[in-house]
Chains A and B, each alone.
Chain A
Amino acid sequence: MSETLDKKTIFQRIGKNVLKRLKRIGEFLGKLWKHPKGRIGLIVVTILVILAVFAPWIAPYDPYDVTQRAAKGLPPSWQHPLGTTITTGQDILSMLIYGTRVSLLIGVSTGIILAFLGAIMGIMAGYIGGFVDSAIMRVVDVMLVIPTLPLIIVLTGLFGRNYFVIVFVFVAFGWTGLARVVRSLVLVLKNSNYVKAAELAGASRWHIMMRHILPGTSHLLIMNTALTSAGIMVAEAGLSFLGLGDPTAISWGKMLADAQGGGALLFGAWWWIIAPGLGIFFAVFGFMRIGIVMEEIFNPRMKASSGIYKLFKNLNNQYVEEVFASMDERKLLTGDVKPEPAESG
């Protein structure tokens, strides 16, 4: 690009780009909405986000209130839709709503940071190649054999149990899988003829990276963000369950741990276990669905293979016979049945 661009045009360009991106996101959400499975995911995630943001207004009780002695161990009722805890009488629904905050925050933020780190590492390895590539791939191989959960436990022990450390550790050890996938995709893109054509036209590495390589991997990154967010939510819950999460926050994993420790199993307080489990389930389910639907949208081959069976089930026999009949030589000759242009079945 030439240096003569003044500030105004640069701003215009950036503005244009931002608008374009927003439009893309809008289009994309529309696509998700149109897909029956995507719609469920979108609804679930939207509800969770609303719960997380407006938790103090939505939650009927203060989840931190441990002084309700009279309300200990109540089964679900109109007052306490999901019952209360046996030990302290906290309202489980309120805890569940507050727990959304932790899960979403950890899950989504880790997912996004991971996508960035994985993309950077994968693209560097694939596009620059050579020494950078082998260095990154060696690191990936080492990380692959170190058992993740024990390592996370050790590191949270070393650095303290707050969510910054937890996110950091998840990111530091989660990028390898994505980096591998991105790398192999970048290798394919890098050797494609359209990149060669751009190189021939004098394109800089930057241009090729921004116009060809990055857009080519973007679908993978978006999809991965949704799927890893779901995975991280499970991992966070597991960590909290082991009592290794942030001890001051209410999280679903910690609720489960409290339930187990507080004797929910023993005293038959099933609601205390089921509630956080449902929370985890819906959160992970929503994000997974979005991720899977994205994969279907971006990878139409998979859709085609499953769609064709549905299509065949709903095939109109009469229509099929008409199509076959329309091909008959005799009828074409007399000209009363024309081979009508094919329409959707």
Chain B
Amino acid sequence: MKKSFVIKRILYAVFIFFVVLTLNFFIPRIGIDDPAERYYPPQGGMSDIEYEIIKQITREQYGFHVSTWQQYLNYLEDLSQFNLGVSLRSGSPRVSALIGERLPWTLVLSVTTLIISLFIGVLIGTVAAWKRGRWQDTLLLNASTISVALPAFFIALMLSFYLGFELELFPAYTNPNMVAQFDWSWEAIRVVANNAALPVISMAIGGIVGYGQNTRNSVIAVTNEDFILTARAKGLKQNTILYKHTLRNAMLPIVTSLGMSISGLIGGAIIIEQIFNWSGMGTLFLEANSTGDYPLMMGIMLFLSTFAIIANLVTELFYVVLDPRVTVGEKR
């Protein structure tokens, strides 16, 4: 049963992947006959003939001169070689190369944020559940309403204003030389950590409170289960019950959300990266958007979607290991 479940999930992920890449192919072609016009919109001071020539060049450069169906096939062929196309930037860099350049910097932010918020969140969530109804719990509850009402970008602005400009504890803008000068030396890593502090904090606050609240609810739900009563009736010590019985079960729903949240973090870091001028995927995407660089935008989109699909698949398979009850596509 387990094996067929794994196969089924993989097949399904492949199916979703195909739908996503097809959508991705068609989005820049929405409502327009000639995608070349979208890739190179007419600019002022350009005569019709000039524009026609530019469009012709664009068509041939990006393969729009063949039928749409053929374009789609070419697109698939390119993808099979991990070729996401060519950016409109000067020098026509490959989209995959641009993504590869920026991805690590985004991962630095999102993975650190995820680890911090997961660790602290689970910790305070467990404490709040343990001290249910006391001040620790009330604090978490109020913090969660407040933090949801305070968007991360507002927190980021406040932090950059207060900690960055007023107290000058951390750089309010990312050091533009950070990326270029990075050489794996301790000093460089320290600089990165210093620059990443504010973006990570502003993203992690929401995450900590979110995971805290989820953990709390989940732990409380598990505590009310009969098997915890059984564990207590066995005379097990409180710590044993907490680690072996409560947390293991309470973590299941949180694990499920993990895959989604990492891909969400990468996609959602756009605003934070913009505020701190962090040279990650988010800023890359905004740059692409401001110049109408569709191949780059769609490349990033496809990359993020694929990332999400894989992350989902991994958590699902991981979940099977954690929860023996999952067999045929049923989730608890």
Contact = CB atoms under 8 A, between A and B. Distances in A.
Contacts of A145: 16, 20, 263, 305, 308-309, 312
B154 A150 contact: no
A157 B16 contact: no
B249 to A, nearest CB: 18
A309 B264 CA distance: 36
Nearest to A282: B149
A270 interface: yes
Given A149-B268, A153-B289, A265 B160 contact: yes
B153 A241 contact: yes
B220 A305 contact: yes
A285 B301 contact: no
A146 B149 CA distance: 25
Given A146-B20, A270-B161, A242 B271 contact: yes
Nearest to A306: B133
A332 to B, nearest CB: 33
A237 B151 contact: yes
B148 interface: yes
A151 B133 contact: no
A167 B309 CA distance: 27
Interface residues of B, number: 52
Contacts of A153: 270, 285-286, 289
B63 interface: no
Contact of A280 (B149, B220, B274): B149
Contacts of B23: 142, 146
A265 B165 contact: yes
Interface of B, secondary structure class, is helix
Contacts of A260: 157, 275
Interface in B282-302: 285-286, 289, 292, 297-298, 300-301
Contacts of A292: 145
Nearest to A308: B133
B20 A309 contact: no
A265 B30 contact: no
B157 A230 contact: no
Nearest to A267: B165
Interface string A147-161: 111110111011100
A238 B149 contact: no
B102 to A, nearest CB: 14
A200 interface: no
Q: How large is the interface on A (under 10, 10 to 19, 20 to 34, 35 or more residues)?
A: 35 or more
B151 A238 contact: yes
A223 interface: no
A150 B270 contact: yes
Given A145-B305, A289-B145, A150 B267 contact: yes
Contacts of B42: none
A141 interface: yes
A242 B274 CA distance: 8
Given A158-B30, A242-B286, A256 B16 contact: no
B181 to A, nearest CB: 25
Interface string A84-121: 00000000000000000000000000000000000000
Contacts of A259: 157
Contacts of B160: 265
A256 B154 contact: yes
B57 interface: no
B145 A285 contact: yes
Contact of A148 (B16, B153, B267, B275): B267
A221 to B, nearest CB: 20
A282 B263 CA distance: 29
Contacts of B220: 305
A277 interface: yes
A300 interface: no
17 contacts: A138-B19, A142-B23, A145-B312, A146-B301, A146-B304, A149-B267, A150-B270, A157-B289, A158-B31, A265-B160, A270-B161, A285-B145, A288-B148, A289-B145, A309-B132, A310-B133, A313-B133
A-B complex: 9 closest residue pairs judged by Cβ atoms: A309-B133, A147-B267, A284-B149, A145-B308, A285-B149, A147-B304, A277-B154, A234-B151, A281-B149
Given A142-B16, A153-B286, A154-B298, 18 more contacts: A138-B16, A146-B23, A146-B301, A147-B267, A147-B304, A150-B270, A150-B297, A150-B300, A151-B301, A153-B270, A230-B149, A238-B151, A273-B158, A277-B154, A277-B157, A288-B145, A309-B132, A312-B133
